[in-house]
Structure formats: C-alpha cells, structure tokens
Amino acid sequence: MLGYDVDAGMTSVGLQSQTLPSENADVAVPTSQAVPLVIDDATADVLFRQARTVQAFSADPVADQDVHAAYDLMRWGPTAMNISPLRYLIVRSPESRERLVQHMAGSNQPKTKTAPLTIIVAADPAFHTRMDVLSPHLSEVAAGLAAAPEARAEMARMNALLQLGYFIPALRAVGLHVGPMTGFDAAAVDAEFFAESQWQSLVVMNVGQPAAEGAHYPRAARLEPAEVSATI
C-alpha cells in the first residue's frame, strides 16, 4: 500500500490530497537562508522553496526530450550498488492516456486526462540484468540476485523511490512543473502497461506548465528542523 485509502476501490491517495484544502491559508516560504548556499537563491526557489505541486496545467506541450533531459541530470544520483532501478513510461497518445485514466482515483482522473503529458514512474525488479554495465565489479552479487526475486523487488522499490526524489527537482531544473500522484490502482496499472516488462509502478506524474488559474492549492506548512531532528 503506497498511501492511505480514502477513495473507494483505490489502495492509496495522491501525493497531493484528494480534498481541496480550501480552509488552509498559504504559509510563508523563505526566499533566503541563514546558512549561505552554494547555489543561488533563485535556483533554490525553482527547485525547492517556491516549487509547487500543480493541480491544473496549461495546454503548452511537453516534448519527450524534456523529460529525458531531466533523467540525464538525475541519473547521476547515488543508489545502492549503483543499481539505478527507476524506469519511466511516457503516456502520450490519447488512447494510452485513456487506458491510464481509468485506473486513477476519482479526483485524479480529470487532471490526468487534461495534463499535457503524463509519465508513470516505476521500479524495475530486473535491474540485476543491467549490473554488467552499472556495477561490473559486482558480477557475483548480480548472479546471486538473479535467484532472489523478493530481495530484488524491495531493492528496486527502495532505490527507485530515492531516484524519484532526484527526478522531481531535475524536472524542475528543466523548467517543468509536476503533479505526482499515488492515487491510482497500482496493480491494475501494472497489468495494463507492465505485463511484459514487469516494472512496478510507484507514482503517476502529470508534467507541464501551470495553468493561469487553479494551478495550486494553498501552500501547506512544513515542520521545523527542531521538530524532526535531534543531535546526540
């Protein structure tokens, strides 16, 4: 279970909530930091501070090569034994989009239908077959993994989620905005699209430019460092 079931028949909810948080006010987000960064403040804003999950997109088209450019950046991020198990399916044609939309949670259906582009981000449990390229010094480990499908599935999931965390800022670095969702029937999506590849879907992500109106929910709060950390 990726999220928490609030939509009947779905195993999870979206990365953004299914309920419009209309009673929430925008929280203030800093535009500079007490500790100097080695990147400029405008870039920190684009990648993190001012970046927003997009609920409604403009009609501006998104090219495959823009998504690939983001992958070109994020692929250098670290993974366990460099296994790099993240995969992505670009769902472009109207027919393909329809096949996907039917498996989305109710409130995710219209935005997935109308987004300029949607990608399914997945984990590949067969990553060990590429370790000859990725980790040529670990051929014995790769051979052992061939006989350990459950370990591979968990490794693929863990490391692809980590890579998804690189992918989202990388898409922003290419100038794209994203609306990631876990509110979909993952088993049905896997059966629909990944019966052959055996990829395991993690999130469905709409990609494009924000619409002039209705693009964002109010900015929600975050916890302070003192609330999430300790020093010993």
User: Could you say whether residue 109 binds a copy of itself (CB under 8 A)?
Assistant: no
Chain centre distance of CA 105: 17
For a copy of itself, the binding residue among 53, 107, 112, 200 (CB under 8 A) is: 53
Residues from 136 through 195 that contact a copy of itself (CB under 8 A): 136-138, 141, 144-145, 148, 151, 154-155, 158, 161-170, 172-175, 178, 180, 182, 193
User: Could you say whether residue 130 binds a copy of itself (CB under 8 A)?
Assistant: yes
User: Could you say whether residue 8 binds a copy of itself (CB under 8 A)?
Assistant: no
- Rounded to whole angstroms, the Cα distance separating 218 from 35 reads 27
Size of the site for a copy of itself (CB under 8 A): 108
Residue with smaller CB distance to a copy of itself, 72 or 110: 72
DSSP letters for 156-182? HHHHHHHHHHHHHHHHHHTT-EEEEE-
CB of 33 to a copy of itself, least distance (A): 5
For a copy of itself, the binding residue among 8, 212, 213, 225 (CB under 8 A) is: 225
By rule CB under 8 A, what string of x and - marks binding of each residue 67-96 to a copy of itself?
xxx-xxxxxxxxxxxx-x-xxxxxxxx--x
Three-class SS state of 140: helix
- Rounded to whole angstroms, the Cα distance separating 217 from 10 reads 22
Residues 165, 84: contact at Cβ < 8 Å? no
- Please choose, from the candidates 174, 161, 179, 155, the residue with its C-alpha nearest in 3D space to the C-alpha of residue 77: 161
By rule CB under 8 A, what string of x and - marks binding of each residue 10-49 to a copy of itself?
--xxxxxx-xxxxxx----xx--xxx-xxxx--xx-xxxx
End-to-end CA distance of the chain: 34
